[in-house]
Amino acid sequence: MSWTGSLQALPEQFQKYIPEEYQKYVPHIWLLGAGVIGIYLLRGLLSYFKVLREVRGLPVKHGFFPAYEQGLRARVPHIPYILPIKDFYSRPEWDRFEKPRSDLLAYTVATQHRAIYWVANPYTAQHVFTKTSLFEKPTFHPRYVAAAKFGGNIISASDGDDHRRHKSVVRGCFGEEIFRNAWEEMDKTVELFLDEDKLREGGVMEDVGATTIKITYIVIGKVGFGHDIPWDSQRSKKGEKIGFVESYEIVDRTMLYQFTLPLWIMKILPTKELRRMGDGRTAFLGYCYEMARSKRAELNALREAGEKSKAPVDLLGAMVHAQLVAEEEARLKHGHEFTPNVGLTENEVIGNMFAKEDSMLPYTTWNEAGEVTKREHLVKKGSLIYIDTPASQLNPFYWKDANEFNPRRHLGADDARASLNNAEVPFVAFSMGPRQCIGRRFAEVEIICFIASILSRYTIHPVPTHAGETKESMRERMIGSAVEDVTMTPGKFQVRLEKRQ
């Protein structure tokens, strides 16, 4: 009797589907399947032990599934050992580094065969951001794969020539005309906001988070795409074509889901909102490509007619114009057409890096008395390194009164900044080095215009939720309401505007 006879035969109800002469091979198939599964599990186990060796000496947290992805980790339930969200995420962000007394944490995930590190040291962040020869963008990572859904763009572009080609085009569109246009449109949008929310003479802003997001969305719609965005947009009815404004709003308001869910999931799941997200993405991309082709044809027609075309004042048009200029320069330089596929993303969001080779990563630890020790950890090739920018900006060993709101600490050549201890500490919120957010100045123009316009006319006061609520309690409530999305987003709270006399 063959030893395979001890293996389980095919159940009788399934034997009729397999010819009798082939049924003798069923035990061998069982054996082969068990062998494949066994090899897979063994390889996973060996890989897991290898990762455990790599992270020795660091505070380590373990999980079965990855629960560290920014945005998602604040929205999924905590399941011990399976999805240990509380080990991967904390509010305030510095807390998870303070308790183990280290600004470098290591994570192991059973379903991923690499070590994962989180950094909350601004100097270590600077080291990682600027050493592109050692740490490169992990374009295989889901967030970058997701970004590529919107076409080739500076977010999904790999380091090196591909990234430089995208950056040269995107950077070329951020001229003074664009910034002037952004300032003017923000000023107009603030006026629209005051009228629509009936705050011209002062009053209560009911939802700071939703209002500021809407204002930014309207400004980018005009400056980015040349479209006037109404304060309250209309939702299309069933069977009606989704217009550009509605598709832009859908993508803008659901960016986290757009980055994490494939289109086919949105299309087949039986929920109206998910299907609307999918339809919105499809329509938005269609409009973007249509507008880009139209603008390209318009600019080419002017050039062929011998007319010198002025760079458009909307970002999409400016990108197309910069793309044509870059192509022309490349043809002159290389003697052939050189056409990168440049998308419409204006801000490069960098959150994680991929170790190209074994390298030392600096970090610090401290004891109960607050005495700091500088250390180094060998990071093996293939490891993922995340920069926790909120925690880096709250690191009390580098920032005096880290929890105090003091934007002056980040201003260069400022007397108030120079008086602070460790005033030279790098500001990493917009990344650094070659991957620094290319839309940083655009964002700063928007922010400064909004703040200047409001504060020049109103004083701002917190609104208590109950009698006797202290200022400190209100402050903690408002700051604590922030939501982690693709970036940190203001939460829902009220403020009162009082008109200046």
* 7-42 pLDDT tens trace: 555 566 566 666 666 667 777 777 788 888 888 888
pLDDT over 70 at 422, yes or no: no
Residues 81 and 16 in one domain: no
- Residue 204 — pLDDT band, cuts 50, 70, 90? very high
The structural domain count of the chain equals 3
Residues 289 and 178 in one domain: yes
- Out of 236-245, 332-341, 424-433, give the one with best mean pLDDT: 236-245
Beta-carbon neighbour count of residue 420 at 10 Å?
16
Residues 375 and 396 in one domain: yes
- Residue 336 — pLDDT band, cuts 50, 70, 90? very low
In a domain, 479, yes or no: no
Report which residue type is found at 381.
K
In a domain, 277, yes or no: yes
Q: Do 82 and 111 form a contact (C-beta atoms < 8 A)?
A: no
pLDDT at 265: 84
Sign of CA dihedral 473, 477, 478, 482: positive
- The helix-helix angle for 272-304 and 315-334 (nearest 10°) equals 50
The last residue of one of the domains, among 281, 309, 334, is 334
Widest Cα–Cα separation across the chain: 101
Query: Which residues does residue 141 pair with via DSSP β-bridges, in sequence order?
Result: none
The last residue of one of the domains, among 440, 456, 472, is 456
Residues 91 and 186 in one domain: no
Q: Which of 75, 79, 77 is nearest to 62 (CA)?
A: 79
Query: Which residues does residue 106 pair with via DSSP β-bridges, in sequence order?
Result: 60, 117
In a domain, 498, yes or no: no
Domain of residue 179, residue span: 172-192+207-334
Integer Cα distance of 457 and 211 in angstroms: 18
Q: Which of 205, 179, 207, 178 is nearest to 194 (CA)?
A: 205
pLDDT digits over 96-126, tens only?
A: 999 999 999 999 988 888 899 999 999 998 8
In a domain, 156, yes or no: no
In a domain, 304, yes or no: yes
Query: Strand pairing of 483-484 and 458-462?
Result: unpaired
